[in-house]
Amino acid sequence: MQRISSLLLVLTFLIPAALAGADIPPTHDRAALDKFIAAHVDRTLTPPLSFLYGGRPSAGLIKSWPATTDVKTVGAKTIRTTVYTDPATKLRVTVVTTTYADFPAVEWVARLKNGGSSDTPIIENVQACDTIFADRPAGDAVLYRALGSGAVRADFGPVQDALAVGAEVVFGPAGGRSSDTSALPFFNIASDGAGIMAAVGWSGRWTAVVKRPAPRSIGLKTGMTATRFKLHPGEEVRTPSVALVFWKAPDRLAGHNLFRRFLLAHHAPAAAKRTDLLPLAAGVGFGGPTPCNEYMCATESYALAAIDRLRQFGIEPEACWIDAGWYENATKYWWSGVGSWRVNKTNFPRGLKPVTDAAKAWGGKKFVLWFEPERVYEGTLIDREHPEWITKLPNNPNRLFNLGDPAALRWLIDDISGTLKSEGVTIYRQDFNFDPAPYWKAMDAPDRIGIAEIKHTEGLYAFWDGLLAAVPGLLIDNCASGGRRIDLETVSRSVPLWRTDYNYWEPNGYQCHTYGLQLYLPWSGTGNGDPHKYAFRSSMGGAVVTGWEMNAAFPVALGQAAMAEYREIRPYLLCDFYPLTEYGTGDEIWSAMQWDRPEERDGIILAFRRPAAPVDATVVKPHGLDPEADYQVSFEDYGIAVIKTGRELGQGLGLKIPEAPGSLLIRYRRVR
């Protein structure tokens, strides 16, 4: 790395913005981004993080430490690596910052390494982001955020906090999974006509603090919930990652859509960039009657018959799915076998390969298989053979597999990637059904608080990266009791195909989840147990998992029509998103949502009259339309098409659904 002057560094940061300045979209707040860069990249100032080191604030230390900087460009990214070194203790703080030529975005992550020969002083209260944004608009300010997933109808429900001068809002997940119950780590700090979208990349416990200390300033602080540790010689740890996207527009939804586009461009796994690569999946191994549960009673013959039955009736998914229960287990309950990732040869005497081969032979269908590798139940294979890799709690049969142990991590990558390849699995489904925080706490000494969580979280990323490298074309499904581990790092590697464990197949709750999560994350999936239009449309997202059993009562024609309609409108579901009605979890309301494709000048609206809604009509105001243009508006369910100007549509589009519950699919396209 080369040492460069402060002036050169600032100029280097400003070059991408200047190059993009010839055609900056109106929602891109490049000026605010440039201010942030100038304030937090020059090594003579403080980088956008903080910690206490030996009881002293890093802000008073780090700017005096010698530093080196390296800059490189990869496509639209400019990546800058600055290393600060404490001359006395040899602590090295490496800050890797990425800016983008195509988005007004900046993100960073830091690593702390002990380069000395003895333990460091105590490092505590590590904040990955600790900054004040000055010169913000002086008008009203609001923090728009969302709940996490807690298996309730209100999962991902929107939350608004007014930011009066002097206000402070503190939020974070309920436990050790990053989007558990109380908070999603994506949020929008909106002022008068401008704002900052923020994302936290940490798959454990995090806390964010947003405050407004003065009329024209906003403060943001975020980091792990608890850190107080020393580093041993040669030891290195990382902080959470943070991303900021600066936007300007009269409508704060422009900020949400700019953030969604940023995620798609620079963080989405390859399959999430195209909706047709995310699976419309079908379960093929249902559990059966009591005492069966989940897929405990699935067998090779049943799964093969289920595939054959779907094919026989023209119900053609893109992936077949077997969930929990396919592995060795001494009891009748799926959870007691986690930790023995060996195929149950009683039910699958030839392994899973005959089933995955049948799916592949059926037009190249993919195959989803469930694992929960971080949980080890007492008496299972890993518990018996590798007790050194697990952490136990008193009177608890669940153990935590230690992803922070290098030997354990290597073994798990090899073991599970080997199973995926030998069994023909193309979509790896990882669940995580218990809170790791108590285990991390038990592992930490008083002068090592946070270390177990850091190493486990780093191990998770290394594990997923290892699987992706070992199994070409693999898609990772991120499940943690539903969507309890959604954050910037996990969505960069995976797709939440089952975003909530809320009451399976219940359509009104699914509408609520779509409304909340689509404001931040374009790609996610949920389940469907009923092909009727109201229920199936309520499940539509980046992916759908059907739980259809082809018995005598199943409406085959409806199933075929539902899949056909989904495939037609699926390309819209990654595009700009606008809620058209107020959010509500009750059954007495209407819910309507719009997906707009400005590049193609078309879009769709999905509207739902819930079962107890007393009125059969409502009015919505679509977004993103040219007031001077003409649009053909097609009411798909009624076979009616009308021509309206964008101005007329912006003033209100009347919808009518005679039945409750009922739904409407509306398509529009610009014709002049």
Tokens representing residue 109 in the block = 């992550």
Tens-place pLDDT, residues 180-214: 999 999 999 999 999 999 999 999 999 999 999 99
Tens-place pLDDT, residues 66-124: 999 999 999 999 999 999 999 999 999 999 999 999 999 999 999 999 999 999 999 99
| Strand residue runs (E) in 59-182 | 67-74, 77-85, 91-100, 105-114, 123-133, 142-146, 158-162, 168-171
Regarding beta strands 640-645 and 630-635, do their DSSP bridges make them parallel or antiparallel, or are they unpaired?
Answer: antiparallel
Task: Place 9 in a pLDDT band, splitting at 50, 70 and 90.
Answer: very low
Tens-place pLDDT, residues 389-415: 999 999 999 999 999 999 999 999 999
Q: 559 to each of 52, 276, 313, 314, 603, how far by Cα in Å?
A: 59, 19, 10, 9, 24
pLDDT reading at 42 higher than 90:
no
Dihedrals phi, psi of 515, to nearest 5 degrees: -55, -50
* Per-residue pLDDT at 157: 98
Question: Hey, what CATH topology would domain 272-571 get?
Answer: TIM Barrel (3.20.20)
Q: How many CA atoms lie within 13 A of 345 on its CB side?
A: 2
* Per-residue pLDDT at 277: 74
Task: Give, as one character, the DSSP assignment of residue 122.
Answer: P
Query: Closest Cα partner for 491 from 178, 197, 238, 249?
Result: 178
Residue 135: Cβ within 10 Å count: 10
Do the two domains 272-571 and 576-670 of this chain adopt the same fold?
Answer: no
CA distance 662 to 613: 10
Across the range 530-558, mean pLDDT stands at 96
Higher pLDDT, 303 or 542: 303
Tens-place pLDDT, residues 339-349: 999 999 999 99
CA distance 513 to 502: 10
CA distance 416 to 371: 9
Across the range 137-160, mean pLDDT stands at 97
Tens-place pLDDT, residues 454-512: 999 999 999 999 999 999 999 999 999 999 999 999 999 999 999 999 999 999 999 99
Task: Place 13 in a pLDDT band, splitting at 50, 70 and 90.
Answer: very low
pLDDT reading at 21 higher than 50:
no
Q: How many CA atoms lie within 13 A of 636 on its CB side?
A: 17
What residues have CB less than 8 Å from 287, skipping those under 6 apart? 293, 294, 295, 296, 297, 298, 325
Q: Alpha helices, DSSP H only, in 471-578?
A: 488-491, 507-517, 533-538, 556-569
Tens-place pLDDT, residues 411-447: 999 999 999 999 999 999 999 999 999 999 999 999 9
* Per-residue pLDDT at 43: 66
* Per-residue pLDDT at 5: 35
Tens-place pLDDT, residues 352-365: 999 999 999 999 99
Q: 302 to each of 348, 355, 357, how far by Cα in Å?
A: 10, 10, 15
Across the range 314-336, mean pLDDT stands at 95
* Per-residue pLDDT at 19: 36
pLDDT reading at 555 higher than 70:
yes
3-state SS of 478-490 is: ECECEECCCCHHH
Tokens representing residue 226 in the block = 């608890």
Strand partners of residue 399: 376
Q: Coil, strand or helix: which one is 293? A: coil
CA distance 438 to 371: 22
Question: Hey, what CATH topology would domain 576-670 get?
Answer: Immunoglobulin-like (2.60.40)
What is the percentage of the chain residues whose pLDDT exceeds 70? 96
Tens-place pLDDT, residues 270-294: 878 776 678 999 999 987 888 898 9
pLDDT reading at 374 higher than 80:
yes
* Per-residue pLDDT at 44: 65
Q: Could you tell me the residue ranges of all domains in the chain?
A: 1-121, 272-571, 576-670
CA distance 473 to 555: 35
pLDDT reading at 22 higher than 50:
no
